[in-house]
Amino acid sequence: MRKVKIFDTTLRDGEQTPGVNLNSQEKLEIALQLERLKVDVIEAGFPASSPGDFQSVKTIANSIKDSSITGLARAKESDIQSAWEALKQSAEPRIHVFIATSPIHMKYKLKLTPDQVIEQAVHSVKLAAQKFPHVQFSAEDASRSDWPFLVKVIDAVIDAGATVINLPDTVGYTMPSEISKLFDYIGHNVSQIDKAILSTHNHDDLGMGVANSLAAIQAGATQVECTVNGIGERAGNASLEEIAVALHIRSDYYQASSGIHLKELKRTSALVSRLSSMNVPGNKAVVGANAFAHESGIHQDGMLKHKETYEIITPELVGATSSAPLGKHSGRHAFKEKLSELGFNGSEEVLQHIFTAFKDLADKKKEVTEDDLYALMTDATDDR
Ligand code: KIV
Ligand code: ZN
C-alpha cells in the first residue's frame, strides 16, 4: 500500500475564498485541529502577502510539532527571505516556491520568455535551498503548460535543490484522464524524478478537483494538496475529506492510503465552516448534514434490515452520526421503529391510526420531528 502525503492548504489557498478572512487566533485554532487530523503538511499562509499573514505563519510554525509547516513564496528573493523569517523556528522548515509555466501566464502575466522563467525558477530554488531543508516547487498552471517545457523546468529545479514538485491544475481545466497522462509523462520523462516527491493540486472549476487528485495519485503522485470542505479560490480546491475517505473506502482500487485520522473529519469540517462562515451544503459528500441521512421508506427499510444496503461509509468512521429523518417518503417499518424508540407500545390498530395521521402531516411539513410524533401519539390515545 503506497502512503500518500496530505498537504493541507486551507489556511493559504482556502483563505483565498472570496469573503473569507481568518485572524491569527482562528488560524492557529484550525492548525491545531489539522495537527489532530494528522495532516502531513500544513500550508499556513503566504508570509510576504501581509504582516498579519507573516505573523500567523510564524505563530503556527512555532506551535505545531506533529505536522510540517510551510509557507508560500513567489520565485523572488524578498518572498523567500520573508518565508525564512516566518518559518525558521519550525521543527522542519519547508518552503513552497512557485512560478507560472503556461504560455498564457508567462506571456501576459509574467511578461517573461520561457528561458527567463527557467532562470528565475532555478535561481529562487537555489536561494531557498541554502536555508530550507525542504523546498517545494510549483509550476503554476502546469495543466495548461507545454509538457516538454515542464520536463525542462522540473529537471532544472531538481538540480537546483527542489525536493517536492507540485503540478497544479490552477484553473480547474483538466480532466481525470488528461491529468493521469500528464503525471505518467512527467514520471517517465524527468530523468531525476526519483529524487523528488510528485504532488498534485487541483481546483474545482469544472467539478473535477477530487477526481483529478485521485487520478494523479493513481498515476504516481504521492502528495495531494487539498482544503477542508474544499474551500478556495473561485469554485474552490479539491476537498480533503473526500480524498481521504475515497482512498480509505476504495483502498482496494487505489492501493494507497493517507495517514488521516478519519474520526476527526466531521469536527474539522465544522470548525472550518464556523470560522470561515462558509456553510457546508447538506448534500456535501462525507461531511454534509445529509451525508448519512436516509429518508425514503425503501432506504430506511433496507437500512433496518442491513446497514450496508445503502451505506458505504459509516458515520462513525468520520465522527458523524447517522439519522433517518421521518418525512413523506418514510415507510411503516422505520416509523414503527421510531415510535418504539419513543416508548410507544400500543396495538397495531393504534399504530396504523398514528401512521395515517403522520402521512397527512408529512405532506404538509418537510420533516416530522419527535415533538410532532409525541403529539400524534397523544392525540391517538385521547381519541380512543
Ligand atoms: O492553484 C495554484 O496554482 C496554486 C499555486 C500557488 C500552487 O495555488
Ligand atoms: Zn491553488
Output the residue whose Cα is nearest ligand 1's atom 8: 13
**Whether the model pTM is above 0.90:** yes
Is 329 annotated as contributing to ligand binding?
no
How far apart CA 86 and CA 65 sit, in angstroms, is 15
Other Cβ atoms less than 10 A from the Cβ of 361: the count is 16
ipTM rounded to 2 decimals: 0.99
CA of residue 140 to ligand 2 center, whole Å = 8
> What string of pLDDT tens digits covers the 384 residues of the chain?
999 999 999 999 999 898 899 999 999 999 999 999 999 999 999 999 999 999 999 999 999 999 999 999 999 999 999 999 999 999 889 999 999 999 999 999 999 999 999 999 999 999 999 999 999 999 999 999 999 999 999 999 999 999 999 999 999 999 999 999 999 999 999 999 999 999 999 999 999 999 999 999 999 999 999 999 999 999 999 999 999 999 999 999 999 999 999 999 999 999 999 999 999 999 999 999 999 998 888 999 999 999 999 999 999 999 998 788 899 999 999 999 989 888 888 899 999 999 999 999 999 988 898 888 988 988 886 665
| Ligand 1, pocket residues at CB < 6 Å | 13, 98, 138, 140, 168, 170, 201, 203
Q: Best substitution site from 8, 11, 13 to test ligand 1's pocket, by max atoms within 8 Å of Cβ? A: 13
Helix 240-249 and helix 209-218, axial crossing angle in degrees, nearest 10: 50
CA of residue 341 to ligand 1 center, whole Å = 51
Cβ-based neighbours of 144, under 8 Å, separated by 6 or more: 102, 103, 104, 170, 171, 173
How far apart CA 111 and CA 116 sit, in angstroms, is 10
CA of residue 192 to ligand 2 center, whole Å = 25
CA distances (Å), origin 14, targets 45, 131, 231, 284, 382: 10, 27, 5, 17, 56
Which atom, in ligand 1's list, is nearest to the CA of 166?
Answer: 7
Cβ-based neighbours of 369, under 8 Å, separated by 6 or more: none
Minimal CA–CA distance to 260: which of 1, 2, 14, 6? Answer: 6
Q: Best substitution site from 15, 136, 140 to test ligand 1's pocket, by max atoms within 8 Å of Cβ? A: 140
CA of residue 32 to ligand 2 center, whole Å = 22
Minimal CA–CA distance to 63: which of 13, 37, 29? Answer: 29
Which atom, in ligand 1's list, is nearest to the CA of 72?
Answer: 6
Q: Best substitution site from 49, 138, 173 to test ligand 1's pocket, by max atoms within 8 Å of Cβ? A: 138
CA of residue 202 to ligand 2 center, whole Å = 7
Half-sphere exposure of 188 (CA within 13 A, CB side): 8
Given the C-alpha cell 392525540, which residue does it identify?
379
Given the C-alpha cell 505545531, which residue does it identify?
64
Is 134 annotated as contributing to ligand binding?
no
Is 333 annotated as contributing to ligand binding?
no
Is 13 annotated as contributing to ligand binding?
yes
